Amino acid sequence: MLGVGSKLPAFSVKATAAKPLADINIDNVFVDVTNESYQGKWLVLFFYPKDFTFVCPTEIAAFGDLNEEFADRDAQVLGASVDSEFVHWAWRKHQEELKDLPFPLLADVRRELSTSLGILDEKEGVSQRATFIVDPQGIIRFVMVTDLNVGRNPKEVLRILDALQTDELCPCNWNKGDKTIDLAEAA
């Protein structure tokens, strides 16, 4: 698995558009997303195993609820699985909490991105439940992977993004607005 300090691999995938259902039509439902689509922004790239499951929509909706907070930090949220853009679209139309999803869902149908990141679950053939925070220079600054059955905490991902953006030493359980570690004071 690629870790902290690694460069995000180049990728190009189809995705469902980040629009409310009422604003989507056949001409704008699918978009192309690459590693260069959001240049100059932080990326919060999270993978989930499959559409039409039970844990996944809870996480996706939770990231959606925090989307404005991520955007306020100049971060683009991207969800991804190995399902196709058509399956993503069908799921969004029928899963109430995903109908107005404010970020794209990437379709890694060839499993190239999951494989290059080292998060393709060999036994199940799906992406592991992985989260990457990538800085504006394309460098991975945070990685977390949980068991396929265990959902992650998007508020914790936001907290980690806040800490990374300080570019300072942040103690355990640090939250935005808390004091960072000042080496001059610590000496």
Across 99-107, average pLDDT: 95
What share of the chain in percent tops pLDDT 70? 99
Shortest CA distance to 52 belongs to which of 21, 81, 16, 20? Answer: 81
CATH topology of domain 12-150: Glutaredoxin (3.40.30)
Are 80 and 47 in contact by the 8 Å Cβ rule? The answer is yes
Residues marked active site are found at 56
pLDDT tens digits, 57-69: 999 999 999 999 9
d(CA 38, CA 75): 9
Q: What does the DSSP assignment read for 17-37?
A: -SS-GGG--TTTSEEEEETTT
The helix/strand/coil state of 56 is helix
The helix/strand/coil state of 90 is helix
pLDDT tens digits, 13-34: 999 998 877 888 888 999 999 9
pLDDT for the residue 19: 80
Rounded to two decimals, the pTM is 0.95
Query: Domain residues of the chain, as ranges?
Result: 12-150
Is the model's pLDDT at 54 over the cut of 70? Answer: yes
pLDDT for the residue 187: 64
Is the model's pLDDT at 51 over the cut of 70? Answer: yes
The one-letter code for the residue type at 125 is: G
pLDDT tens digits, 135-184: 999 999 999 999 999 999 999 999 999 999 999 999 999 999 999 998 88
d(CA 137, CA 36): 10
The one-letter code for the residue type at 109 is: V
pLDDT for the residue 186: 65
Are 157 and 133 in contact by the 8 Å Cβ rule? The answer is yes
